[in-house]
Amino acid sequence: MKALLRKGFSSRRLNKLSGSVAQLVERTTENREVTGSTPVGATETPETIAVSGFSFNGIFQPLEVVIPDMTTTRSLIAPATSANFETAEMPLRPLGPKSVKIKIAYSGICHSDIHQVRGEWSAGNFPMVPGHEIAGHIVEVGSDVTKFKVGDRAGVGVFVDSCRECENCKNGFENQCLNGSVGTYNSRHKDGTISYGGYAHELVVDEHFALHIPEGLDMAAAAPLLCAGITVYSPLKRWNVGPGKKVAILGLGGLGHLAVKIAVALGADVTVLGHSLAKKDDALNFGAHDYRSTEDAFANLKGSFDMILNTTSADLNVDGLLSLLRMHGALVNVGLPGNSQSYNPFSIIGGGKSIAGSNTGGIPETQQMLDFCAEHGIVATIELLDASNPSTIDAAYDRVVASDVRYRFVIDAATI
């Protein structure tokens, strides 16, 4: 352990005592009984642990441990599964030769944040700092950085590292890294440390995984583009959505409203499908050419669409949706229902239809998406959150689950 012990012991005596010290350090780590100001989560590395004493021959001996400096950043944390949010100082990764430090201005709330905080997909790494829709400014760069300079507008999306050696990474699909990409939060870096996300003041990331946010985009409203934007842009481009194509967007939420804006900008004829007509006016204002309830569509729009983009997390009438497709049409899923979905194979054999999925996008395509959105004036429609009271985030999560947000929550990081 890198520490300076000040009690006048000789180095030989300290060597003899080292076992007792190590045992106490281990116990202190378990109980989180530490002295000084130790950041939450810092007990993973021995260099960050402070102890107040040790036992030698049954007699307690006072001990002072000087903890090496650790950079931290003010963050919103979920201390445990489904626990209410708190503020805390969390470890910040050191600035390496190829990394940049971003002062976060805004961080969007994605529905996947809620799934992970509430343990709905798998057991999480807690305490957790969610957030992978990050927008801010570069405040420091490593010695070998060439992509950014101090003052640049920058964003970070869903992942912060990949192997960069596999076929997919080399072709610009780091999100599909064959060796596993490192998530912006609730993941582990290659050195084994936990990744912490964008509900914070600062983030350090390799320059390769940071994106340029064009000057023409409002910073707060651009933050959701780093996840929601690329999640819908990628499949729309892959299925060649454009002039002459008829596209249906299933659901008008955080993903769906951006899908409408982007599909319209690509030149497609866009219809929104919803379980009710409550959001019809909004859909038309976003540029949609039509809005139908799913029941109406099942009755009157069979064989109408080249592509249906499902942006919802609801259980689906898959066969009903497949009936709305033209020959060789595709039902593409970017929403993640909690239950398994089923369909009749006859629904795809007739007409040569397909069911597919898409998962965000690589770094080159994400930058392409940001540039496209700047060219066409596309940003998310947002509600900005003051996070000075962490309970605001708890309430926002409940509203997202209840579909009571128009259309993406974004945290003002300065209020954390």
pLDDT of amino acid 122: 87
**Structure pTM?**
0.84
For the chain, the residue count is 416
**Number of alpha carbons in the 13 Å side-chain half-sphere of residue 142:** 16
Q: Which residues make beta-bridge pairs with 141?
A: 100
pLDDT at 402 over 60: yes
Q: What's the mean per-residue pLDDT of the chain?
A: 87
pLDDT at 60 over 80: no
Over range 321-337, report the average pLDDT. Answer: 95
Amino acid at site 379? V
pLDDT at 309 over 70: yes
pLDDT at 321 over 60: yes
**Token output for 105:** 């201005």
pLDDT of amino acid 31: 35
- The CATH topology of domain 228-357 is Rossmann fold (3.40.50)
pLDDT band for position 338 (cuts 50, 70, 90)? confident
- In terms of DSSP bridges, do strands 53-56 and 182-183 run parallel, antiparallel, or are they unpaired? unpaired
Residue ranges per structural domain of the chain? 11-62, 72-223+384-415, 228-357
For the stretch 148-190, pLDDT in tens is 999 999 999 999 999 999 999 999 999 999 999 999 999 999 9
Q: Which of 25-39, 125-139, 153-167, 333-347 bottoms out in mean pLDDT, i.e. has the lowest?
A: 25-39
pLDDT at 50 over 80: no
Amino acid at site 125? N
pLDDT of amino acid 69: 55
Radius of gyration of the chain (CA): 25
Over range 65-84, report the average pLDDT. Answer: 83
Neighbours of 292 (CB within 10 A): 21
pLDDT at 51 over 90: no
pLDDT of amino acid 306: 98
**Number of alpha carbons in the 13 Å side-chain half-sphere of residue 243:** 0
Over range 113-126, report the average pLDDT. Answer: 93
Assigned superfamily of 72-223+384-415: Medium-chain alcohol dehydrogenases, catalytic domain (3.90.180.10)
Classified as helix, coil or strand, 323 is coil
pLDDT of amino acid 233: 98
pLDDT at 114 over 80: yes
pLDDT band for position 95 (cuts 50, 70, 90)? very high
pLDDT at 9 over 80: no
By CB atoms closer than 10 A (0-12, 13-18, 19+), residue 4 is exposed
pLDDT of amino acid 257: 98
pLDDT at 352 over 70: yes
CB 237 within 8 A of CB 265: no
